[in-house]
């Protein structure tokens, strides 16, 4: 499972699931180019800590809503590392509201941050990956993209879009040895789910057969697997990492 020397981009690496992915991949010897948007101090702290442990981790500022920044980031990474082996599209937000109260801005903000960014980042890494004739792209979707969720029409639509995008691109790129998969996390303890009311958190916990909320490390382990040689015959799939919350047919 070693990822030694693999160059991997992780968007939204400054907090939550992304931070756990950055920590795990650095521990496996990957050269991680992580991004932050607003959390610059946190990014600096994680970078200093992991570099102090001998990890190859570099943070870059990226607003995934800005497609030209996405292109620029990939150029910087390929310019300094000479290649890009993996892309983890993790950055995401919620702007929850029942549909009657959901503004067009709430809709656009979530679709742009959670779905258009996946298009922009994936397109940006394609050229180097096509030249290399290898690459792994892992998109962080959500179980909500499979089941839907009241109050999250924008988020569910974006996450379902990520799954359909993944399948389409996996078909386009399979012959070039570029593998594209999705992870659908369930209820993971992060700042994002910390915003839920205690009642909502309790209801979610009650729907998890394994009886506990997930942590970022649960997702990071599956990301590392999908980047590894062990996953070389898997593409176009969505893997739910959710304690059994949603059981796919």
36 is a site residue for ligand NDP (CB under 6 A): yes
238 is a site residue for ligand NDP (CB under 6 A): no
14 is a site residue for ligand NDP (CB under 6 A): yes
Residues 6+ apart with CB under 8 A from 135: 84, 85, 86, 87, 125, 128, 129, 173, 177, 178, 179
65 is a site residue for ligand NDP (CB under 6 A): yes
Window 78-97: residues binding ligand NDP (CB under 6 A): 90-93
Tell which residue, 157, 218, 152, has the closest CA to residue 183: 218
Task: Sheet containing 31-36: give its strands across.
Answer: 56-61, 31-36, 7-10, 86-89, 135-140, 178-185, 238-241
Part of the chain binding ligand NDP (CB under 6 A), chosen from 58-66, 76-84, 118-126, 165-173: 58-66
Structure tokens at 11: 């968007």
Shortest spacing between CB 20 and ligand NDP, in angstroms: 8
185 is a site residue for ligand NDP (CB under 6 A): yes
Part of the chain binding ligand NDP (CB under 6 A), chosen from 7-15, 78-86, 165-173, 223-231: 7-15
DSSP tag of 112? I
Part of the chain binding ligand NDP (CB under 6 A), chosen from 36-44, 70-78, 96-104, 127-135: 36-44
123 is a site residue for ligand NDP (CB under 6 A): no
C-alpha to C-alpha distance for 96 and 169, rounded to whole angstroms: 28
Shortest spacing between CB 242 and ligand NDP, in angstroms: 8
Residue selected from 6, 10, 12, 137 as contacting ligand NDP according to rule CB under 6 A: 12
Structure tokens at 217: 């490390």
Contact call for residues 235 and 180 (beta carbons, < 8 A): yes
Q: Is 36 a catalytic residue?
A: no
3-class secondary-structure state, position 75 = helix
- φ, ψ dihedrals at 84, nearest 5°: -140, 115
> Site size for ligand NDP, by CB under 6 A?
29
58 is a site residue for ligand NDP (CB under 6 A): no
193 is a site residue for ligand NDP (CB under 6 A): yes
In angstroms, the Cα distances linking 104 to 112, 121, 156 are: 12, 24, 15
Given 36, 155, 187, 233, the catalytic residue? 155
Tell me which residues are annotated as active site: 155
Site of interaction with ligand NDP (CB under 6 A): 11-12, 14-18, 36-39, 62-65, 90-93, 113, 140, 142, 185, 187-188, 190-193
């Amino acid at each position: 499972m070693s990822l030694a020397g693999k160059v991997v981009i992780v968007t939204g690496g400054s907090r939550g699931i992304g931070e756990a992915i950055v920590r795990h991949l650095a521990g496996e010897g990957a050269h991680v180019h992580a991004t932050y948007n607003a959390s610059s101090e946190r990014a600096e702290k994680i970078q200093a800590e992991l570099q102090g442990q001998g990890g190859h981790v570099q943070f870059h500022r990226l607003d995934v809503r800005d497609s030209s920044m996405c292109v620029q980031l990939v150029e910087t990474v390929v310019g300094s590392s000479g290649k890009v082996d993996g892309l983890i599209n993790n950055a995401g937000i919620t702007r929850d509201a029942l549909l009657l109260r959901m503004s067009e801005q709430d809709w656009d903000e979530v679709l742009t941050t959670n779905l258009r960014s996946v298009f922009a980042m994936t397109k940006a890494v394609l050229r180097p990956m096509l030249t290399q004739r290898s690459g792994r792209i892992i998109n962080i979707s959500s179980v909500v993209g499979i089941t839907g969720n009241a109050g999250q029409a924008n988020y569910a639509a974006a996450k379902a879009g990520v799954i359909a995008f993944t399948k389409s691109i996996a078909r386009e790129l399979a012959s070039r040895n570029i593998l594209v998969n999705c992870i659908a996390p369930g209820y993971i303890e992060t700042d994002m789910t910390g915003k839920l009311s205690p009642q909502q958190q309790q209801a979610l916990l009650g729907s998890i057969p394994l009886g506990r909320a997930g942590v970022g490390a649960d997702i990071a382990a599956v990301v590392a697997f999908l980047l590894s040689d062990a996953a070389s015959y898997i593409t176009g799939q969505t893997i739910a990492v959710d304690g059994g919350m949603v059981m796919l047919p």
